Chains A and B, each alone.
Chain A
Amino acid sequence: MKSTRAALKKAFLYLLLVGWALVSLYPFVWMLSSTFRPETEIGRLNPIPGKWTLENYRLVFTKIPIGRAFANSLFVSLSVTAGVLIFTSMIGYALSRLRFRGRDGLFAVILFTMTLPFQITIIPMYVLMVKFGWNDSYYALIVPYLVNAFAIVVFRQYFKSVPEDLLDAARIDGCSDFDILFRIMWPLSVPALITVAIITFMNIWNEVLWPIIVIRKWELMTMPQLVALFAVGGKAEGLLGVRLAAAALLALPIVVAYAIFQRHFIASMATTGLKS
């Protein structure tokens, strides 16, 4: 009796989980299958196309410079990620392991910037880019993102857990603070590095508002911007399959990365709780 109840409970549990898993997955499966269908077949529920075609993808590549946009996105995301790792670990190290006047004040400022809603600075930032002559250049996409408060907090927290003895020993050996940071702290802080790298990369890869504001040249657009404008603009000539194919191409790199580093993605995103 008890075992049937337990089995029923388990079945119910799985039903719910499988149900939501379907809800999560089905739209993606439908999108992917639609991209391989001729235009007239889209809108059907069945995820398996009756007739397969690559026409939609061919059209995406002929209509918009999506290859170039992929390269732009990759370059911008990697540059920002590298920059963020270097600069914020420097600050995180200084804040956690060095003593200097104004340190606590500075940390308070950093925490304050975390609470600053971006709506307030977005217009002045755009004006600043125009005054620098940075609109329609990679500078606008990279430089403003090179530092972020969240990464600093992650590094500061993590570096605090490294035993002081280790640093003292290194100092006696004549290590500079740069040596300590990049030769000792970095190898000891791989999880923090991964967290910051994944979150930064993902945020920059998916960012779309800022590129829409500062970039107008086709050759400089990142993938999300190009695909979003393709969705609202006239280039798709009203063809749905082509638009979905562009969306699928935009999703692909991050889905592949997610498939490989799935655990790290989830663990990293869980730390965004630090934000509040």
Chain B
Amino acid sequence: MKVASTAIDENIRSLCPPGGRKARRSSHTAGYVLVLPYVVHFLTFVAFPLVFSFVLIFHRWDIVSQMQWVGLGNIRRLFHDPVFFRALANTGIFLLIHIPLQIVIALALAVLLNEKLPLRGFFRAVFFLPVVVSGVVTTMLWDSLYAQDTGVLNNVLSSLGLGRVPWLTSPFIAMPSIALMATWKNVGLYIVLFLVGLQSVPRYLYEAADIEGASAWRKFRDITLPMLNPTVVMVVILSTIGGFSLFIEPYIMTGGGPIRSTLSAVLYIYNQAFQFNHMGYAATLGFFFALIVFVVVILQKRFVERETGL
């Protein structure tokens, strides 16, 4: 056994001249071997599901009995499904609140943290804490904070003489409440991303501005903000993807209510698939939501890139 393996080693050594055609050929083989796990994984868990989702779109299937061909039935249903459009609108509302709020808070705190301060590391670490904790924890936590008559938030508001807010039980406030919670959870991450961006702004730009006697606000508006544009794009795109992936927040807090006002794309797919067993329609929903994310992200990117001339 041992002898055989040394023999192989010797073999390899002789097959391994520096450069040369042989080395290149073996580089080919080794390359294929190294990427083999990926290719197998890709074919099974990416390519096949993609193809299969196209099959599902044209079928009605409860997974228990036989598949039934329905042609464009699922797609027609989707275009007449008010709930699908409701879920889209909900995602839109979420993003309209979440993205600006997030950018403003994260940018402000990042600018503050960019100063040379004692305890800077401590603050950064604290701001980042909600990012690493599971969404299940933060959702359960905020679910209790938001409770209308016993929650801490309303206790504070009513002790200040302000009214109690129906955080999760008003069809108009529930989605903004979830957006607020998501902002609280993610701000730490975006602070860090902005800090990376801030540190890449060349010093000399500020020095030049100082010589011209520019105010702090002008420096921020004319230098910092334009230089941070790529980071803003990133934050917008990551938030958009996050908005379309909302699931556990409404699943735990509201079940999608009141009046479907917090029904998210993924929660709707989940309900169709696992409550009513409509695998074909759930796959159709998945396909169209994915398509929309894809298009929205590309448009966002295009838009910002054109604006900044990159």
Contacts and interface: CB of A to CB of B under 8 A. Distances in A.
Nearest to A87: B37
Given A24-B129, A100-B28, A128-B44, 5 more contacts: A27-B138, A123-B53, A228-B252, A232-B251, A266-B125
B128 A231 contact: no
Interface in B82-120: 105, 108-109, 112-113, 115, 117
A1 interface: no
Interface stretch (A52-60, A186-194, A250-258): A250-258
Interface in A90-133: 90-91, 93-95, 98-101, 103, 106, 109-110, 113, 115-128, 130
Contact of A28 (B24, B53, B129, B131): B129
Contacts of B38: 87-88, 90-91, 106, 110, 147, 152
A251 B133 contact: yes
A7 interface: no
10 contacts: A24-B130, A118-B290, A122-B269, A128-B48, A147-B42, A208-B136, A227-B137, A228-B252, A231-B136, A276-B237
Interface of B: 9, 12-13, 16, 18, 23-24, 27-32, 34-35, 37-39, 41-42, 44-46, 48-50, 52-53, 56, 63, 105, 108-109, 112-113, 115, 117, 123-138, 140-145, 147, 150-152, 155-156, 184, 187-189, 192-193, 195-196, 231, 233-234, 237-238, 241, 244-245, 247-248, 251-252, 255, 265-266, 269-270, 273-274, 279, 282-283, 285-287, 289-291, 293-294, 297, 301
Interface of A: 13-14, 16-17, 20-21, 23-25, 27-28, 30-31, 34, 42-45, 87-88, 90-91, 93-95, 98-101, 103, 106, 109-110, 113, 115-128, 130, 143-144, 146-147, 152, 168, 171-172, 174, 176-177, 181, 202, 205-206, 208-209, 213, 224, 227-228, 231-232, 240, 243-244, 247-248, 250-251, 254-255, 258, 262, 265-266, 269-270, 272-273, 275-276
Contacts of A265: 128, 132
Contacts of B273: 123, 126
Contacts of A202: 132
Q: Which of B132, B141, B245, B297 has the largest number of chain A CB atoms within 10 A?
A: B132
Given A119-B266, A254-B133, A124 B128 contact: no
B32 A100 contact: yes
Contacts of B113: 17
B42 A109 contact: yes
Interface of A is mostly: helix
A11 to B, nearest CB: 12
A177 B30 contact: yes
A209 B44 CA distance: 20
A273 B234 contact: yes
A117 B293 contact: yes
Contact of B37 (A90, A121, A127, A270): A90
Contacts of A16: 108-109, 112
Contacts of B196: 270, 273
Given A13-B117, A28-B129, A120 B123 contact: no
Nearest to B130: A24
Nearest to B233: A276
A256 B173 CA distance: 35
Given A209-B247, A273-B234, A43 B150 contact: yes
Contact of B293 (A119, A146, A152, A213): A119
B172 to A, nearest CB: 24
A59 to B, nearest CB: 16
Nearest to A115: B294
